[in-house]
């Protein structure tokens, strides 16, 4: 049996990690083998991305976009493709859609039209990365996301400023509805409610 790829997306603070943990537990209880993974990865390029995010100088739009591409290629080759070939359910905390939304939100700096830049990033990624079989988008308003992020830690990194997150959320909402298997979740609901509804919808897709 061929495995499947489920990607979780949303702005920072939307609660992806909690839902991924609960979904993985549910699916394992049903007897599935589940591989939980994330981007940016802990590999060589992912480390560079994190170092840059923690410094005060954000990388140039081009350099940032390229590092995510390199990280994703490595992620697919070393982790996602082999797990899918073994018939596992791969759940990735972020995937190519984050590049379309986050790097696509930097249109001001590049002087590009937002939709054109997003499309370019999508095409660049799709040249080597398959579409996720299921895309779960956790939708949350930016102010709630920011209060959740700041309650959890001291400082916010370069990806998380309010103006940036507004653009990222707009970017996500421009293309998520176009995905053939997108599940949109209202991330304001209690975690158990979200988990139950998500599990129902995903179970439906697995049958
Ligand atoms: P995040 O999921 O928040 O990782 P962690 O919780 O380990 O810090 O990802 C870090 C940031 O990377 C997040 O703000 C979104 C950003 N990002 C991109 O800008 N482009 C991408 O392609 C990906 C995968 C992530």
Tokens for 57, please give them. 């100088």
Contacts with 167 (C-beta within 8 Å, 6 or more apart), sequence order: 105, 107, 114
Helix axes 61-75, 114-126, angle to 10 degrees: 30
pLDDT in the model for residue 151: 80
Q: Omega of the bond prior to 197 within 30 degrees of 0, cis?
A: no
Judged against a pLDDT cut of 90, whether residue 100 lies above it is answered with yes
pLDDT band at residue 57 using 50, 70 and 90 as cut-offs: confident
Which helix (DSSP H) or strand (DSSP E) does residue 44 occupy? helix 44-54
Q: Is 9 in the pocket of ligand 1 (CB under 6 A)?
A: no
pTM of the model: 0.95
Beta-sheet pairing, 134-139 with 4-9: parallel
Q: Is 99 in the pocket of ligand 1 (CB under 6 A)?
A: yes
112-120: average pLDDT: 95
Q: What does DSSP assign to residue 32?
A: -
Range of weakest confidence among 28-32, 54-58, 81-85? 54-58
Range of weakest confidence among 4-8, 11-15, 17-21? 11-15
Are 122 and 100 within 8 A, CB to CB? yes
Q: Which atom of ligand 1 is nearest to the CA of 157?
A: 14
pLDDT in the model for residue 38: 98
Judged against a pLDDT cut of 60, whether residue 50 lies above it is answered with yes
Q: Is 71 in the pocket of ligand 1 (CB under 6 A)?
A: no
**Helix, strand, or coil here: 5?**
strand
Tokens for 187, please give them. 């991330």
**Ordered structural domains, the chain, with CATH:** 4-38+83-206 (3.40.50.300)
Pocket test for ligand 1, best of 60, 65, 66, 98 (most atoms within 8 A of CB): 98
């Amino acid at each position: 049996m061929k495995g499947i790829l489920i990607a979780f997306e949303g702005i920072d603070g939307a609660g992806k990690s909690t839902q991924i943990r609960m979904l993985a537990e549910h699916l394992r209880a049903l007897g599935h083998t589940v591989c939980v993974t994330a981007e940016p990865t802990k590999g060589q390029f992912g480390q560079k991305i994190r170092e840059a995010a923690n410094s005060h100088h954000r990388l140039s739009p081009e350099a940032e976009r390229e590092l995510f591409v390199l990280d994703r290629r490595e992620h697919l080759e070393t982790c996602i493709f082999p797990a899918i070939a073994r018939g596992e359910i791969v759940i990735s905390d972020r995937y190519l859609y984050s590049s379309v939304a986050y790097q696509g939100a930097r249109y001001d700096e590049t002087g590009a039209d937002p939709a054109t830049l997003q499309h370019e990033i999508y095409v660049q990624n799709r040249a080597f990365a398959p579409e996720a079989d299921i895309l779960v988008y956790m939708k949350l308003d930016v102010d709630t996301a920011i209060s959740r992020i700041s309650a959890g830690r001291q400082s916010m990194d370069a990806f998380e400023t309010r103006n940036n997150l507004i653009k990222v959320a707009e970017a996500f909402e421009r293309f998520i509805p176009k995905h053939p298997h997108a599940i949109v979740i209202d991330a304001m609901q209690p975690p158990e409610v979200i988990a139950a509804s998500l599990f129902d919808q995903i179970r439906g897709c697995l049958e």
